[in-house]
Homo-oligomer: A and B are copies of this chain.
Amino acid sequence: MREVCIAGTGSTTFGRHSAVTPQDLAARAARAAVLEAGIARSDIGAIYVGNFVSGVLTGQEVLAGLLADHIGLAGVPATKVEGACASGGIAFRHAVMAVASGLCEAALAVGTESMTHADTATVTAALNCAMDHRSDGAAGLTYPGLFGLVWRAHAERYGTSREEVAAVSVKNKRNGLRNPLASMGADLSLDDVAQSKPIADPLALYDCCGISDGAAAVLVTTTERAKEAEGLPIRVLAAAQSSGPARISGLDNLLSFPATVQAAQRAFAESGLSPTDIDLVELHDCFSIAEIVDSEDLGVVPRGEGGRWALDGRTAVDGEMPINASGGLLAKGHPVGATGIGQIYEVVQQLRGTHPNQVKEAGIGLTHNLGGTGISCTVSILGRPDV
C-alpha cells in the first residue's frame, strides 16, 4: 500500500438547510474539495458517499451516482456506504484504500445528510434504523435512552459527577462559537447544561447533539499529486474500521464500546503511533457522556477519568489533549452521514494551522466516528507532512 494524502477539503455549514437535497449539499462540498486539491477530474477514479437515512427521510437513494453525475464525473465508480453514524468515516476509509492500493490516483470521499425537514418523531424513528429491531429496538430503546444508561453505568463505576459530564457540553458548545461551520455553539455554564430540558434522564437537552443538515468532502490522492494542491497536503497515517456487537446485550458492560477499542488498536498499529503521540482529537460526542467514554476507549484519557479531564480543562483547546476543538457534534450538529468526513475536515484545517479555533503545535490528529450502539466504528490518524 502506498502513502496517501488529503489534498482538498470542502464543507457546508452544519445546521439547517431544509430546502436543499442531500445530493446538492454533497455536490457543494465535493466541488470545493476538488477545486482546492487542484486535481484534474480525469484523475478521480472512485467516489464514496457516506449517508445513513436519505432513503427513509427523503425517498432518495443512489446518492453516489447522483453526485458523480452532478459534478461532471458520471462514469467514475460511485458507491454509497452505510454504517449508521459511522457512514462518513467508512466513506473516507474506502477512498483512502482506493488510492493506497493503486486502484486510482485520486478518490473523493463525501458525507451528506438531510434531516431538519422532518419532524423529531420521524427523525427518531429513522435513527432507530441503526438498532437491531428485534432486541434493542423492540425494547423501546432510543439513542438518548442508551446514553442515559451509559451515563448511569459510568457514574456508578467511576463516580462521574453531573458537573463533569456537563463540562463536556460547556467546552464543546464554547468551541463551536469560534467555528463558522457550527450552528449550535453557545456560551453556557455548568448549571445551564444541568438545568436544561430533560431528554432521557440523566441526559438534558444540552447533553445532546442536534438534528442537522450538512455535507463535507475530502479529496484523497498520492503524496506526489498532493504537492500540486493549493493547501498543505495532510498525510493519512491510518484509516481503520471495526464492527461490534449488534445489541447492547452483547456488550460486556456499558462503560466501553468494543468497536472503538478495536478500531483504535488497528489505527495505532497501522500508524506505528500510540495515544501519547496524538496532538488533538475529533471524536463522536453525540452526547456529552459519549465523549467521556470515547476518549477513554481511544486511550487518550485514562479509563474512568474522562469527566475529570473535561472539568479540569485538560481536553480544552489549550489543554494537554484537546478534544473537539471544532465544537464536535454537540456544537456542530450531527448530520449523520456527514459527521465522519466533517471530523476529517476539521483535523485537516488544524494540521494546516488554519483552524478558527487552532490547537497549538498540532502535528498529528485523530478522528473517531461511532455508529449505532457501537455496531460500527472508524478511527483515522492524520499527520502534517513535516511530522
Contact = CB atoms under 8 A, between A and B. Distances in A.
Interface of A: 1, 21, 47, 52-53, 55-56, 58-62, 64-66, 68-70, 73-84, 90, 93-94, 97-98, 100-103, 125-126, 128-130, 132-134, 241-247, 250, 258-259, 262, 371-372, 375-376
Given A69-B375, A102-B1, A250-B69, A78 B243 contact: yes
Contact of A60 (B70, B77, B83, B129): B129
A83 B84 contact: no
A341 to B, nearest CB: 15
Contacts of A56: 55-56, 59
Contacts of A130: 61-62
Q: Quickly give the copy total for this chain.
A: 2
A68 B243 contact: yes
A295 to B, nearest CB: 21
Contact of A65 (B1, B80, B81, B376): B376
Nearest to A90: B79
A97 B103 contact: yes
Contacts of A75: 242-244, 258-259, 262
Given A78-B376, A80-B81, A66 B246 contact: yes
Given A74-B243, A375-B65, A60 B103 contact: no
Contact of A59 (B84, B100, B133): B133
B69 A243 contact: yes
Nearest to A85: B62
Nearest to A247: B69
Given A75-B262, A83-B80, A102-B1, A129 B59 contact: yes
A101 to B, nearest CB: 4
A94 B91 CA distance: 13
A71 to B, nearest CB: 11
Nearest to A48: B81
Contacts of A61: 52-53, 82, 84, 129-130
Nearest to A240: B77
B103 A84 contact: no
Contacts of A97: 97-98, 101, 103
A246 B59 contact: no
A94 B97 CA distance: 10
Contacts of A82: 61-62, 64, 79-82
Nearest to A84: B62
A70 B103 contact: no
A111 to B, nearest CB: 14
Given A60-B133, A74-B250, A65 B244 contact: yes
Nearest to A52: B61
